[in-house]
Every structure is written in C-alpha cells, then in structure tokens.
Chain A
Amino acid sequence: MADMERINTPVETAIAEHFAGAKAVLPGDAGARETAFARFAEAGLPHRRVEEWKYTDLRSVMREAAPLAPALADDDAVAALEASPWFAGIEAARIAIANGHVVASASDFADLPEGVSLETTAQALASGHPDLAALGAIPEASENIAYALNSAFMSDGVVIRVAAGTKVETPLHLRFVITGDSAVATATRTLVIVEKGASVTLLESHDSADDVAHQPNNVVEIVAEDETEIAHFRIDGHGSGAQALSTLTAHLGAHVAFDTLNMIARPGLVRHQVFMTFAGEHSKGGVRGATMLGERQHADTTLFVNHVAPHCESRELFKTALDGNATGVFQGRIAVAKEAQKTDGQMMSAAVLLSDGATMNNKPELEIFADDVLCAHGATCGELDDDLLFYLMARGIPRPEAEALLIESFLGETVEEAVDETDEAMREALMGVARTWLAARG
C-alpha cells in the first residue's frame, strides 16, 4: 500500500499548479521550496484521519485553492491598513503587511526603536541573509503541513533582530490585512531573533474582509536567546469568510520569560498552531488564548509545548465562548523529555457553550518521560452559570447584558494573566476585542 500513489483532490492539484507557477518568481532558494512542497505533495491536505488534524478537516473544508496574492497598489494597501482597528490605542512601531507583502509606506521603518534592525523577508530570501539559518528551529513545526506549505510559498514578511541587552520600550506592531473582492492566498514568514538579555513586546493583528474566502498562511518564528523577556499579543480578526492558517514557533533559551496571548473573534475558519520549545533551563513560557465564535465558525488552537531542558515552567490557559453552530477545538500536547526534570507544566482549556448547536472539542495530552515533574491539565465545557445569571438579573441587568458581563469575565481571565496589571491600555485593547464581539452578539 505504501507504494501506491495518492490521488490528488482537485484542490491539491490546484495548489500544485499554483506552486509550479510561483516557484520561478518567488525570491530565494527554489530548491528549498521544492523540498517543502514535496512534503505537502506527499501527504496532501490534512484530513480527519490524520490525528493532529482530526477536528479540522482541511481536505473537506477547502473547496478552492486561491491564487497567491500579488502586491497591492500602495493606495489600496494603505486604505485597508487604515481600516484595521486593532491595538489602535497602543503607541507602537508599525510594520504593515497587506495581502502578504510588506508596505513600507505604511510602516515605521525609518523610525524603529533603538537596537531593532529589520529587513523584509523578500529581501532576506533574495540576498540569502544569514539570519534565515535560524528558521525551522523547531523540527516538529517544520514537519507540519501548514508550515511546509508556508515554506513552499512564503513571499514576504520581516526578519527582525533585537540587539543584545536592548530593552525595547515601544512595541513592534505587525499589522496584517488582506483586501479585495476575490479570494487570494498569502504566505508570510516572520522571524524575530531576540539576542541575549534583550526585551521586546510584539503585537500582531490580522484583518480580512468578511464573506471573501481569503486563505492566509502566516508563520511567525521567535528565537529567544538567554535572559530575554518577550511578550506577544495577537488579535486574529480575519473575516467570516477566511480560511486562516497560522503558526507561531518559540524557541526559548535559558532564563527566558515568554508570553503569547491570542484573541480570535468571528473567523470563518482558523487553525492557530503554537510550537514552544524549552531548550534552556529556568525559563517560563505562557501560552494563552481567548476565542469567540458564532454562526458556523470554526477555530482550532493546537499547541505543542516541548520541555527539553530542566527547571522550566509552562502555563497554558485557553477560554472559548461558542454561540450558534460554531465549533471550537483545543489540542494541547505537553511533552517532557527524560532530561527535563523539575518541569512545572499546567494546562487548562475551558469552554462555555451559549447555544445548543455549538460544539467544543478539547484534547489535552501529556507525554512525560522525566520522573520528577509537576504537570497537570484540565478541560471544562459547560453553559453559563444560572445562579450567577439570576444574581445579575435580580439587580435589574437584562439577560443579554448579564450574559455579556459573565462571558467577558470568563474570557478576561486570559488577558488578566498575560498582561501586566499596570498596563491598562493593553488590557483595554485586548478586552475591546471581546466587547466588540459581545456587542455584535446582541
């Protein structure tokens, strides 16, 4: 059976045709792209019989393969970027990426914080930038099909280096938008290397028009050298038609403090993957997320947290609110290698179902080979607490508002944990996503 050739679906055939057309014009080493594409060609689009894609069957939901988007005219790109509301209240150095291509005129490249150097991924690929050697630091990510497709098609993005010892005060804001009436695919690759002792806050926001089946595939790779402090706040505001794949990798050295928080609201289909590897001792990593879904929306968050080095601490907290006929997926795998003694890993996924038609799939997994660790996981799924609702309503708060208060507080725990308590503006920027969603829910 192993020798039998797999028969491509029409969508897989279309992707292969897109690749054949694109590989000659995409920047960088065509051979590397072909190697990555071969991985996809061999496996095909993931489907429900592939364990890690069990709940997100791309083969059945991807009915078309959109063509890779060309760069937009500058005016169109700027207009789309101006319409994107996320993190509006946060002063940041902007890095604008529209339809998968960097828009220099809408970015603050001339005014980057001290110690931050940046090049576009397109330039880096074309010139064979040495930093690109840091890509693919986590092998499990490289084997992933969404990542492999991104490696085959990646067209732009940014390569950022934060110089050793630099405390970057102004956050760097990666602003992604996709615009246009006909569906396009994008493949961006961003690499952030944070040198020893540096600290930085990364904001990442995504927007695409509703009702258009755009197919973004974004990869952000973070390499955290020893003694770094990195906060990453992400807002996934893709429109209700989008089929969005995203991958975050975080390779942590020793004595690192890394936190990522992802807010997902109203997507068509989202698969967000996080690969975090503890390669050095005494590091702390927090991976959190709040997901808000309605209608027939689908969001899948899949984590692989790999404790290779001892004495590290990982915290994962995911909250999902589901309305309508939405489907939520949380897959969280924590692996603790034999050498990773004294690992402290705590993972929790909680979902609240706001309708009879909503579905939540929780799949936590622990693989522990060390014998002196503290690891726990939990998953809950339920309705809003009737007693709490009654208490709020007994004070005159109408049911929709009472529900909104409870949902906001339920989701808000992720933000409370991830954001410094003095950073009111950041908390508001993130909770604003929840409030907007709740207001639209009515």
Chain B
Amino acid sequence: MLEIKNLVVEIEGNRILNGLDLTINNGEIAAIMGPNGSGKSTLSYVIAGKDEYEVLDGEIILDGQNVLEMDPAERAVAGVFLAFQYPLEIPGVATMTFLKAALNAQRKARGEAELTTPDFIKRVNEAAQKLAIPKEMLKRALNVGFSGGEKKRMEILQMALLEPRFCILDETDSGLDIDALRIAAEGVNALRSPDRSFLVITHYQRLLNYIVPDSVHVMAGGKIVKSGGKELALELEANGYADYKAQEAA
C-alpha cells in the first residue's frame, strides 16, 4: 500500500529525514517509536504534504501514486489521513460546517454525489456516539475550547467519517488520560480493515497495548534503524532509546 524509499528531507537547511525506507502493507498497523527529535512528526507532516519541508530525495508511493506530487487536499482524496498531534483550533468555523466541507470535498473529488444534510447529520451523530462525543461539542467552533482529549477524539471522528486508506496517528496518546486513551484506541480499532493501513507514531509502548501493531520500527537520526514485531516495543520500553541514540551519535 505505502512505500517510502530513501526519503531525504530538510527544513530551513537542517536535515531531518536522512534516507528513510519504510513499507506498510494493506491492513497493516505499523508503529514507529523513537526518541524526541528523531524525525517522527516530520515524517507524518511530509506524508500529509505540509509545504515548509523540502524533500531533497526519495519517493512516497501510495497505491502506485507518488503523493509527493500532490497538494495536501489531493493526498487526502487519495486516502491519506493525518491525526494531528496538536489539532488546530479554528475560531469561527463551526465543527459541522468543517466536517461537511471535508466530506463533500472528498466525495466531489472522487466523482461521488454530495451527501444530503439529513444523511450527513446521521453519519456524524452515529460516529460521534461511538466516540462519546457530545452533540454540544459538534455545535462549537472547531476544536475551540476543547480539552486535549476532546481534540484527539475529534480527530478520530474525522478519520471515521472520511474513511481514509492510510491513517497516520501522530502521538495520539499524548495528553490523554487512560480513559480517553481507551476511547480513542477503540475508535481506531473499529476502523481496522484489510483495506486500511495505519502508521502509529508514539513515544510510549502504552498506546500499543490498546492498538496492537503488526510491526514496530525504531526511528533515530532521521531513518528506520530497526524493525521487528510487537515485542520490539516491549524491549524499547524496558531498555529505552539509549542504544539508538549512541548509534546515531557514532
């Protein structure tokens, strides 16, 4: 499904990703773990298309298409979804207006008919209920005045509504208490499907107790330095990143 080859990325002259290779198959949940500053969030932004990053080399191929040639909206239509580490507050844009604009923009781009308002509201309400998102939250401006946990659930709600092919969860566990974490993880697990893959970025093994990965990759110095199964996460939890930092320094 997703293939990243020799990705080299700089921001303002600083090299962040340094020849990163990663392949994620259909239906796979891949976890990326790594110390602060290893380039995990940069990788998520580069896949989603944030334009302040300069891609010097490499390819990101999703279902045979090179997403680096697309703008962020086109990538979303192609199936990329980034659940932000810090979802943005947009005063003055009602949550429902935003959700409808996003859903219908994607449908339009795929040549599908726009949803009718009742149909749209029904879908949102169903998805919101599963994530324990109260209706009052949907009436407010997007993410304005939401708690950290509410913002993260709102990201998962968008993911559920947009039905992407490839989801990136950028430290979805940060700032969440254990109950909020469980609700968010259940939301993600409900979306697991043979046709959908996930890239889960996290510092801690804890999230991976709830969202059990098929593969775990360690990132350090802007590339993947070790890959393994879910047991690798436990090993990291026990030993920390010291070995990899030393490797990076060497």
Which residues of chain A have a CB within 8 Å of any CB of chain B? 386-388, 390-399, 401-402, 405-406, 408-410, 412-413, 416
B222 close to A (CB within 8 Å): no
Interface residues in chain B, defined as those with a beta carbon under 8 Å from any beta carbon in chain A? 48-52, 71-73, 75-77, 80-82, 84, 87-88, 90-93, 97-98, 101-102, 105-106, 109, 141, 158, 162
**A409 contacts B91, C-beta separation under 8 Å:** yes
Listed by A's residue number, 12 A-B pairs whose Cβ atoms lie within 8 Å are A388-B90, A390-B49, A392-B90, A392-B101, A392-B102, A395-B102, A395-B105, A396-B73, A396-B77, A396-B162, A405-B97, A413-B92
B73 and A409 contact, CB distance less than 8 A:
no
Contact B101 A394 (CB under 8 A): no
CB <8 Å contact, A396 and B76:
yes
A391–B90 touching, CB < 8 Å:
yes
How many angstroms from the CA of A392 to the CA of B106 in the assembled complex?
12
Q: A390-B50, A397-B73 are in contact. Are A409 and B93 (CB under 8 A)?
A: yes
Nearest-CB residue, chain A, relative to B75: A394
Q: What chain B residues lie within 8 Å of A388 (beta carbons)?
A: 88, 90
Question: What's the least CB distance linking A395 to chain B, in Å?
Answer: 4
Question: B84 contacts A391, CB within 8 Å?
Answer: yes
Closest chain-A Cβ to B105's Cβ sits at a distance in Å of: 5
B172 to chain A, nearest CB (A): 15
In the bound complex, residues from chain B placing their C-beta under 8 Å from that of A401 are 101, 105
Quick one: closest A residue to B168, CB to CB? A394
* CA–CA, A393 and B71, complex, Å: 8
Which 8 A-B pairs have CB atoms at the shortest separation, nearest pair first? A409-B92, A396-B76, A395-B102, A393-B72, A396-B106, A393-B73, A391-B88, A409-B93
A402-B73, A405-B101 given as contacts; is B158 within 8 A of A395 (CB)? yes
Report Cα–Cα, A408/B91, bound state, in Å.
Answer: 11
B97 → chain A, closest Cβ, in Å? 7
Pick from A396, A398, A399 the residue with the most CB of B within 10 Å: A396
Shortest B120–chain A CB gap in Å is: 15
Report the separation of the CA atoms of residues A392 and B84 in the bound assembly, to the nearest whole angstrom: 12
Which residue in chain A gives the minimum CB-CB distance to B87? A391
Look across to chain A and name the residue whose beta carbon is closest to the beta carbon of B102.
A395
Q: How far is the CA of A397 from the CA of B105 in the complex (A)?
A: 6
B47 CB, min distance to chain A CBs, angstroms: 10
- Which chain A residues border B82 with CB–CB below 8 Å? 394
Task: Give the contacting residue for A395; candidates B50, B52, B91, B162; CB below 8 A.
Answer: B162
Residue of A nearest to B78 (CB): A396
